[in-house]
């Protein structure tokens, strides 16, 4: 694959977001174009291993990775990612560059799925004996990671509502290494003031040696890189990672799993070596699909999905059978003012995402839950365009009940304590005509069980 000139990083805080003289949106359509005459998309490198020119060449490739000065990560040649597939391949290298540009970060590493990206970042930024502070709620499997595997591996985990930053700060001690949160929490869309959190961590880290600094890990899956750039919120925090399940809105087509961590160069080598030694690289076929389909259509898809979600949220809020709608675009949303500052798309517009959560009315939580389940079953039986399924960000609309789906593995009481009420339903709005979605929702709501 021909070597391409590295793109200039997008300029923060300016709209539309640009890469050099092009808008980011146009640039991503061509980020992987091979140079010269020939195919207009890169080919898929299927080989598990690569032939070296001679032993000095192979030694040189390994030498450029192993034992390299972490500060030299930026200079790791593309060729070093063509040794063996677990180390990487040229297509995932291009994809990582596209992710970094799309999310406004310095560099990125791609993974086989979102949980691999999250667990690799947590493992590489903390160690046995260290402490982690996790905002609530988070995706069910992430919550399980924090209550299960991490404590088993010797980390102490504190859960806290990060809307109360003073409470979070009281948990910090010399062993604290990571603060973790989601930009739009799964499933109740709760938001954390990222600028204030980053200010707190900049201040805290200014008192610490490099190896004791706290890393902020933010899962931006619900918002997608199109609706939120954590790097743009508040001061620069050098110790920040933005992770995604790229299986969701980034992919859009639900044809495979992927994850990504957008990281500063200073973390790159450590995370890259972690993936080399523990596995979890992204198969080339997946990377290719994300690069030539998903990244090219990300802005187009999400812009439309957000517009439709807004209409659907307003409809749900106006319906007599609905008790509460959680959507950052609604004035009734608790963190609406924060959402207006934090959820800003590549054009500079307020972009409150494509995820909506809501609860039906009932005399008490049990009835609301029973009505919610009956509604889901009616919808699933009658609607061609709204599908009962976990996952999100798909081009088709998906609906699920977190307590029996994505968050089923959490004990009931813990779910409620972390802000996930009984009967909560979660809707991921797709590309359908919003009127079709509203009609099907209305029909299923009308026959209350
Ligand atoms: C917010 C969030 N983060 C991470 C993940 C895990 O992603 P994956 O399924 O790609 O491992 C999910 C999955 O639903 C999610 O919703």
* 187 prior amide bond cis, ω within 30: yes
Confidence of residue 80 (pLDDT cuts 50, 70, 90): low
User: Is residue 219 lining ligand 1, measured as CB closer than 6 Å?
Assistant: yes
Q: How much is the average pLDDT of 80-100?
A: 89
User: Is residue 245 lining ligand 1, measured as CB closer than 6 Å?
Assistant: yes
pLDDT digits (tens, 9 = 90+) for 192-233: 999 999 999 999 999 999 999 999 999 999 999 999 999 999
Q: Which atom belonging to ligand 1 lies closest to the Cα atom of 246?
A: 10
Confidence of residue 65 (pLDDT cuts 50, 70, 90): confident
User: Is residue 140 lining ligand 1, measured as CB closer than 6 Å?
Assistant: no
Q: How much is the average pLDDT of 172-192?
A: 98
This prediction has a pTM of: 0.96
List CB contacts of 386: < 8 A, sequence separation 6 or more.
Answer: 379, 380, 397, 398, 399, 427, 437, 440, 441
Q: How much is the average pLDDT of 308-334?
A: 98
Q: Which of 122, 221, 261, 280 to mutate to test the pocket of ligand 1 (most atoms within 8 A of CB)?
A: 221
Residue nearest to atom 8 of ligand 1 (CA): 114
User: Is residue 280 lining ligand 1, measured as CB closer than 6 Å?
Assistant: no
97 Cα to the center of ligand 1, angstroms: 21
User: Is residue 182 lining ligand 1, measured as CB closer than 6 Å?
Assistant: yes
Q: Which atom belonging to ligand 1 lies closest to the Cα atom of 406?
A: 14
Q: Which atom belonging to ligand 1 lies closest to the Cα atom of 118?
A: 4
User: Is residue 180 lining ligand 1, measured as CB closer than 6 Å?
Assistant: no
Confidence of residue 79 (pLDDT cuts 50, 70, 90): low
146 Cα to the center of ligand 1, angstroms: 14
Q: Which of 92-96, 98-102, 338-342 has the lowest mean pLDDT?
A: 92-96
pLDDT digits (tens, 9 = 90+) for 260-317: 999 999 999 899 999 999 999 999 999 999 999 999 999 999 999 999 999 999 999 9
Residue nearest to atom 9 of ligand 1 (CA): 114
CATH tag, 299-446: 3.90.1150.10
115 Cα to the center of ligand 1, angstroms: 6
Q: Which atom belonging to ligand 1 lies closest to the Cα atom of 221?
A: 1
pLDDT for the residue 217: 99
Q: Which of 112, 186, 223, 280 to mutate to test the pocket of ligand 1 (most atoms within 8 A of CB)?
A: 186
Q: Which atom belonging to ligand 1 lies closest to the Cα atom of 257?
A: 10
Q: Are strands 386-388 and 322-326 parallel, antiparallel or unpaired?
A: unpaired
40 Cα to the center of ligand 1, angstroms: 32
Q: How much is the average pLDDT of 174-182?
A: 98
Average pLDDT over the chain, rounded to an integer:
94
Asked whether the predicted pLDDT for residue 60 surpasses 90, the reply is: no
Q: How much is the average pLDDT of 331-336?
A: 98
pLDDT digits (tens, 9 = 90+) for 120-142: 999 999 999 999 999 999 999 99
User: Is residue 257 lining ligand 1, measured as CB closer than 6 Å?
Assistant: yes
Asked whether the predicted pLDDT for residue 252 surpasses 50, the reply is: yes
- Fold for domain 18-293? 3.40.640
Residue nearest to atom 11 of ligand 1 (CA): 114
Q: Do domains 18-293 and 299-446 have the same CATH topology?
A: no
Confidence of residue 58 (pLDDT cuts 50, 70, 90): confident
pLDDT for the residue 63: 80
The gap from C-alpha 264 to its chain's centroid, in whole angstroms, comes to 16
Residue nearest to atom 15 of ligand 1 (CA): 139
Q: Which of 134, 144, 190, 247 to mutate to test the pocket of ligand 1 (most atoms within 8 A of CB)?
A: 247
User: Is residue 224 lining ligand 1, measured as CB closer than 6 Å?
Assistant: no
> Domain boundaries in the chain?
18-293, 299-446
């Amino acid at each position: 694959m021909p070597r391409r000139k590295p793109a200039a990083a997008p300029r923060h805080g300016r709209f539309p977001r640009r890469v050099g003289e092009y808008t980011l949106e146009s640039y991503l359509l061509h980020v992987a174009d091979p140079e010269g005459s020939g195919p207009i998309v890169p080919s898929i490198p299927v080989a598990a291993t690569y032939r070296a020119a001679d032993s000095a060449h192979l030694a040189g490739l390994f030498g450029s990775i192993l034992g390299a000065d972490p500060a030299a990560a930026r200079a790791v040649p593309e060729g070093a990612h063509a040794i063996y597939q677990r180390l990487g391949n040229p297509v995932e290298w291009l994809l990582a560059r596209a992710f970094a540009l799309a999310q406004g970060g310095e560099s990125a590493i791609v993974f086989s799925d979102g949980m691999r990206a999250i667990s690799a970042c947590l493992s590489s930024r903390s160690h046995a004996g260290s402490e982690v502070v996790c905002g609530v709620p988070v995706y069910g499997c992430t919550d399980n990671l924090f209550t299960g595997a991490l404590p088993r591996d010797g980390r102490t985990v504190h859960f806290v509502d990060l809307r109360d930053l003073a409470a979070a700060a009281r948990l910090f001690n010399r062993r604290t290494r990571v603060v973790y949160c989601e930009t739009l929490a799964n499933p109740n869309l709760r938001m954390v003031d990222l600028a204030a959190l980053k200010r707190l961590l900049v201040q805290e880290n200014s008192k610490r040696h490099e190896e004791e600094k706290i890393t902020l890990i933010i899962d931006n899956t619900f918002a997608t890189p199109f609706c939120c750039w954590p790097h743009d919120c508040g001061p620069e925090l050098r110790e920040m990672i933005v992770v995604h399940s790229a299986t969701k809105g980034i992919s859009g087509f639900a044809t495979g799993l992927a994850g990504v961590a957008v990281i500063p160069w200073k973390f790159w080598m450590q995370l890259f070596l972690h993936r080399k030694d523990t596995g979890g690289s992204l198969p080339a076929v997946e990377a290719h699909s994300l690069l030539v389909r998903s990244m090219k259509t990300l802005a187009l898809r999400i812009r439309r999905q957000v517009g439709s979600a807004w209409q659907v949220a307003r409809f749900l809020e106006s319906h007599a059978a609905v008790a509460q709608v959680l959507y950052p675009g609604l004035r009734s949303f608790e963190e609406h003012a924060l959402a207006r500052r934090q959820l800003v798309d590549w054009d500079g517009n307020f972009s409150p995402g494509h995820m909506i959560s809501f609860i039906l009315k009932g005399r008490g939580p049990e009835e609301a839950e029973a009505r919610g389940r009956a509604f889901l079953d009616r919808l699933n039986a009658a609607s061609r365009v709204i599908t009962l399924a976990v996952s999100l960000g798909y081009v088709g609309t998906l609906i699920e009940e977190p307590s029996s789906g994505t968050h089923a593995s959490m004990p009931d009481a813990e779910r409620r304590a972390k802000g996930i009420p009984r009967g909560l339903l979660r809707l991921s709005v797709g590309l359908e005509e919003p009127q079709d979605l509203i009609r099907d929702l209305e029909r299923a709501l009308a026959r209350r069980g």
